[in-house]
């Protein structure tokens, strides 16, 4: 199963992000959406799981949940915008998806895969514009960052 990971779009849906996420079975947005039309564009590609970020105050996104825990392809995935809000302990969780920092990262900690897809929205500082791809299958769970704009 191929799962697209995106975060911190801040009102911007880049064509490059849509291209990178095309063909995904599911898309996870880890917050800071800012406007509902971002989700409408992503929903044209695949079913969505979405959490609210600290900038999601507009009426169209303010009611989104702060956390989501879903099962996709046999993997349990916990989604929250800010890594500081990840609950402890993480019993039964295979993957944690966060955003907020705009810094893409993939790391394993105590048997849990942590993925921050970075920011697919407006460039912040000199950070790259990125999304993530999560592959869940019989061979395990792997994630990678896709650079849209270096």
Average pLDDT for residues 121-145, to the nearest whole number? Answer: 95
Residues of the domain holding 36: 2-149
CATH code at position 34: 3.60.21.10
* pLDDT confidence band for 44 (50 / 70 / 90): very high
Domain count, the chain: 1
pLDDT grade, residue 125 (50/70/90)?
confident
- Let me know: does 60 contact 35? Beta carbons within 8 Å: yes
Structure confidence at residue 117 (pLDDT)? 98
Over the Cα atoms of the chain, what is R_g? Answer: 14
Q: Describe the chain by its helix, strand, coil percentages, rounded to 5.
A: 10, 40, 50
The confidence band for 18, taking pLDDT boundaries of 50, 70 and 90, is very high
Q: Is the dihedral of CA 16, 71, 142, 92 positive or negative?
A: positive
Cα-based distances in Å from 109 to 2, 16, 99, 149:
22, 30, 17, 28
pLDDT at 30: 98
| Predicted local confidence at residue 124, as pLDDT | 87
**Minimal CA–CA distance to 24: which of 132, 142, 141, 145?**
132
pLDDT of residue 5: 98
- The CA-based dihedral angle spanning residues 62, 63, 64, 67, taken in that order and rounded to the nearest 10 degrees: 100
45-90 pLDDT, tens digit each: 999 999 999 999 999 999 999 999 999 999 999 999 999 999 988 9
């Amino acid at each position: 199963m191929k799962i697209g990971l995106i975060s911190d779009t801040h009102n911007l849906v880049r064509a490059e992000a849509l291209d990178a996420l095309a063909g995904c079975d599911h898309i996870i947005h880890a917050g800071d959406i800012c406007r509902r039309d971002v989700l409408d564009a992503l929903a044209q590609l695949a079913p969505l799981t979405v959490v609210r970020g600290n900038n999601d105050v507009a009426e169209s996104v303010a009611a989104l949940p702060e956390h989501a825990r879903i099962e996709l392809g046999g993997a349990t995935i916990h989604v929250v915008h800010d890594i500081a809000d990840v609950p402890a302990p993480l019993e039964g969780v295979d993957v944690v998806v966060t955003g907020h920092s705009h810094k893409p990262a993939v790391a394993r900690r105590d048997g849990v895969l942590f993925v921050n897809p970075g920011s697919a929205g407006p460039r912040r500082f000199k950070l790259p514009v990125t999304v993530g791809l999560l592959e869940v299958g019989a061979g395990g769970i792997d994630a990678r960052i896709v650079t849209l704009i270096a």
